Structures are given as structure tokens and as C-alpha cells.
Amino acid sequence: MLDTISFAQKQRLAYIDFCLLFKGAIYRQDLINRFEVGLSAGTRDFNLYKELAPRNLSYNSCDKRYFQTPEFKPLFEHDAKRTLTKLANDISDGFDAIGDIHFPVEAPSSLNVPDIFIVARLVQAIINNKAVSVIYTSLSSGSGARVLVPHSIVDNGLRWHVRAYDRKSQSFRDFVLTRISKVTIKGTPEEYEQARADTEWQRLIPLQLVPHPKNVEHPTAIEMDYGMENKQLLIEVRSAMAGYLLRRWNVDCTERATLLGAEYQLWLQNRFTLNNVQNISIAPGYRKD
């Protein structure tokens, strides 16, 4: 039947599917507001979705919204790479599931793509402020059960992580999505486990980046690459993300710009700003004084 309906209605059905998968619920008004359709058209879309996937959703008359059922199986195929990118940019249009226009743009290959259902469970937990029980495989201790309180999905340029409070270590940490093999949503977390208590996430630090004084023969080219003003780029990043950005951009973080090589085109001029940053060891050349 999906092959016989219009593109516009297929998109709306994909949006219902998307919301059920990643949010766990959807109001009828969400669909109406997102696509600017009338109440009767929105009702028809939900009725058609129920006809196509009757075991995917149930209506709660008290909350006046549809919820994902335990038997839920996506009606559409949601591409993991593109969905993660859209989630990171707060886009949820359902287009991925029905065949977006493919633009001739390529990106470097990343490591293994996370399981879309693992991502969906974590996003549900974040949106609904819930803890999760997971099976996680770490480099140091192997596979084991952990209880996490996730608050953000993070792209570090190479892998996707979830930023979460870890009840085992009693600290906020980053967990690689591809190392999570099972997610079960649990109860509501304590205040000290939530995002606002994650000081490294909430704290913004200034970075002053300039063309590398030893490796770059024509600094104007680097200034143009990064849109620098007055020969420098001033940005603020979350303390928890600083190391990732500096490694991704190959920023020389030594005190006197001593890293040599064409890959080091930027130098961190105010390296002292990293003194109180945790997990900064991955920043190129950085050593605590």
C-alpha cells in the first residue's frame, strides 16, 4: 500500500514512525503543526498508519497521544548515519525513510555505524529524562552491565558517543555507541545525575586558534579556511568536547608550537585555558604543567 499513496502522505507516515521510534510517543497535533495539515487529514494519516502497522502504537486517552508499543517494528527503514546527523542538528522530518534527494557530496568514512535501535532507545531516555540499563564493552574491563543516565548524543568526528552519568564510577563520562549492545529504559534519575549537574558539559571554555607559526608558509590561506578575523579564530566549546575538537582539527597545543608537520596547521595560542579541563590528554601535544 505504501507504493500507492502520495509522496506527501508517505512523508507524514514516516514522521509518525520516526517520532514513535525516537521519542516513544507522538501527539496528533505534532503532525498537524509540522506539516500544516488540517485535523481531518492528520486523523486520516494516523488511521492509515494504524492500518499498515496496527501493533506499532496505542492511544492513551488521558494523555491524548499515541505511544510506542513493546511490539513496535519500524514501518520505514531509518538510515543510521543520516538520522544521527539530523538528530545532531535538531531535524526530524521523516524524509530519510522515504528517499531524500541524494546530493553529490561525500564525507570521509567513519567507523562502524551504531545500531539504530540502540540510538532510538537512548534518545527516548534523553527526551523523557530516564535512566537506562545497558550492556557495555569497554577496553579496560570488557563486557558488563551498567546503569547510565544519558543526556546528549555526541559526534567526536570519528565515533558517536552518548554523554551520560555512570552509576558504576559515579561520574559523567562518554560511552561509544557501537560498544552498547542492549538498552533497557528504567526510572527517573536523581538531580545530581542529570545534565545540569555535569560541570564539564555546562562549562564553556574559550579557544584562541591561529595559523601555525612554523608549519604554515602562507597563513592567509588558513585564515580563509576557518573564517578568521584579525588573524585568529575565537570560539567557545564545552569543556567536555574540547579535546575532541582539538584532535579533530590537529591543533598544536604545545606551549611554543613545537609540533612539526603539514597536518598541524593551527596552534592554540591560549593553551592555559586547558589547565582545568578533564580528559584533555587526546589534544595534540598538550601536557599539564
Report residue 14 CA to chain centroid gap.
20
pLDDT for position 98: 47
pLDDT at 68 exceeding the cut of 60: yes
Q: Answer yes or no: pTM beyond 0.75.
A: yes
pLDDT at 111: 58
The burial of 4, by beta-carbon neighbours within 10 Å (0-12 exposed, 13-18 middle, 19 or more buried), is given as exposed
At 152 the pLDDT is: 92
Percentage of residues of the chain with pLDDT beyond 70:
91
Is the pLDDT assigned to residue 109 strictly greater than 80? no
What is residue 110's predicted lDDT score, i.e. its pLDDT? 58
pLDDT tens by residue, 223-275: 999 999 999 999 999 999 999 999 999 999 999 999 999 999 999 999 999 98
Confidence of residue 89 (pLDDT cuts 50, 70, 90): low
- Asked whether residue 102 carries a pLDDT value surpassing 50, the answer given is no
Give me 116's grid cell. 539504530
Residues facing residue 209 across a β-bridge? 233, 268
Greater confidence (187 vs 288) lies with 187
Per-residue CA distances from 37 to 23, 29, 45, 95, 111 (Å): 21, 10, 10, 17, 40
CB hemisphere CA count around 3 (13 angstroms): 0
The arrangement of strands across the sheet holding 171-176 comes to 171-176, 160-166, 142-155, 132-138, 180-185
Taking residues 135-150, what's their average pLDDT?
93
> What does the pLDDT look like over 2-32, one tens digit per residue?
778 888 899 899 999 989 998 899 999 999 9
- If phi > 0 it is left, if psi is from -120 to 50 it is alpha, else beta; for residue 28 that is alpha
Q: What is the DSSP string of 181-193?
A: EEEEE--PPPGGG
In the chain, what are the domains?
A: 2-98 (1.10.10.10), 116-198 (2.30.30), 203-274 (no CATH)
Across the chain, what does the average pLDDT equal? Answer: 89
pLDDT interval class at 51 (50, 70, 90): very high
pLDDT over 70 (residue 62) = yes
CA distance readout (Å), 54 to 16, 18, 31: 13, 16, 18
pLDDT given for residue 80 in this prediction: 76
Give per-residue pLDDT as tens, 143-183. Answer: 999 999 999 998 887 788 999 999 999 999 999 999 999 99
- How far is the C-alpha of 212 from the C-alpha of 234, rounded, in Å? 15
As a whole number, mean pLDDT of residues 111-133 equals 89
Helices marked H in 212-273: 219-225, 242-248
Q: CA-to-CA distance for 188 and 149, rounded, in angstroms?
A: 9
Mean pLDDT of 71-75: 94
Residue 134's pLDDT band, with cuts at 50, 70 and 90, is very high
- Provide the strand spans (E) within the chain: 25-26, 57-60, 65-68, 132-138, 142-155, 160-166, 171-176, 180-185, 204-211, 233-238, 251-252, 266-268
Counted residue by residue, the chain has a size of 289
Asked whether residue 70 carries a pLDDT value surpassing 60, the answer given is yes
pLDDT of res. 90: 61
Q: Which residues contact 172 (CB under 8 A, 6 or more apart)?
A: 163, 164, 165, 166, 197, 198, 200, 201, 240
